[in-house]
Amino acid sequence: MKVLIGVAIAVIAAIVVPVIALVGIVLLDGDAKAAEKTDGGGGLRGVPAEFRPWILKADAACPEPEMTPALLASQLWSESKFKTTKDEATSEAGAQGPAQFIPGTWATWGRDSDGNGVASPWDIGDAVIAQGRMMCSLLKDAKTSGYGGDPRALALAGYNAGWGAVIEYRGVPPRSFANGETYDYVKEILADIPRFEGPGQLEISGSGTGADALRRAAARAGTPYTWGGGGPSGPSTGFCDGTNGYLNGRCSASVTVGFDCSSLVQYAYWPTTQLPRVASDQYGATSHRAVSRDDLQPGDLLFWSKGGSGSIYHVAMYAGDGNVLHAPRTGRVVELQPLSSAMPERDYYGATRP
């Protein structure tokens, strides 16, 4: 069954993909605290913001333990690379949308899951929930079939080639079937699952400006780091300045939609508290409310410097339990990390409360 399991500390590995968001943040009574939890199957990372809530919802609706958010994400990546336009997500065989349903299959599994009045394979919510519904049914078939092997592999084969092909071969069709399409499809999806596994939702309790800002920032977890990108209205492409914004020798910032460390903070607090754009100015605007490291609360700002307030180079938000939420650097994403290792300990400068 799907359960939320508390974990102490998790570090999200680097993966540059489109914008991702955390959802399902729960408001509780009591003191403001933050605790990381997993979304079943090890959590979810590396998916666009608009897909994440639907993947989690589809996963939660399926009682089969083999179903995980990362399995659905890996399958969507294989099917469409999370593309949603008709030009990019229509196959030569006529499969449509991010989950690649052919019309006949859509007629069986498609529903108006997003409540917009239309059941469409092009609507992300409709497509992902239908994908989850179909995969859940196929997992049940796999487990009652008596065929050997991983039920996930059998279900994926059924999704790709039809359950009839699985019955015919009493398992995943061999490489000789359909030029190896189904065989490779199953192999690649299972192999890619770990890249989508990661820390899950950041559950933030309490109220107030800091807790609310942390919730807003947490909804952008997984968004790529982009030097100079982002602002009060959300993520955007950035720029390279001769030193920053490059990845593997190329200007990543100019083609990556995301946040840098200070724009994430600015976005989180806007419009309630309209902080300046860069980290050093954010420190200057909030330094009159300095906070000791022993008195940190969710939403407090933490700063790192190479020497004095004029050399501040990084800002993060305290997320509770000794963790921070921040956008670390090019090639990484907005993520939760231990305060002790988020940045060099010797550079820690101090904390403020906006």
pLDDT in tens, 266-319: 999 999 999 999 999 999 999 999 999 999 999 999 999 999 999 999 999 999
In a domain, 19, yes or no: no
Residue 115 carries which DSSP code?
Answer: -
Domain membership of residue 158 (yes or no) is yes
Domain match, 180 and 239 both: no
Q: pTM for the whole thing?
A: 0.53
pLDDT of residue 200: 54
Residue 192 has pLDDT above 60, yes or no: yes
Q: Is residue 232 part of a domain?
A: yes
Average pLDDT over residues 177-204: 87
The C-alpha atoms of residue 282 and residue 168 are separated, in whole angstroms, by 64
Task: Give, for 130, the enclosing helix (H) or strand (E).
Answer: helix 124-145
Do 187 and 300 belong together in one domain?
A: no
Relative to beta strand 323-326, strand 335-338 is: antiparallel
Q: Name the residue among 67, 4, 68 with its Cα closest to residue 36.
A: 4
Q: Is cis: bond before 69, omega within 30 of 0? A: no
Does residue 18 fall inside a structural domain? no
Q: What is the dihedral of CA 219, 221, 226, 229, to 10 degrees?
A: 10
Reference 22, options 217, 229, 224; nearest CA is 217
For the chain, percent of residues with pLDDT exceeding 70:
86
Domain enclosing residue 186, as ranges: 39-196
What local confidence, expressed as pLDDT, does residue 221 receive?
Answer: 81
* 233, 307: one domain: yes
183 and 300 part of one domain: no
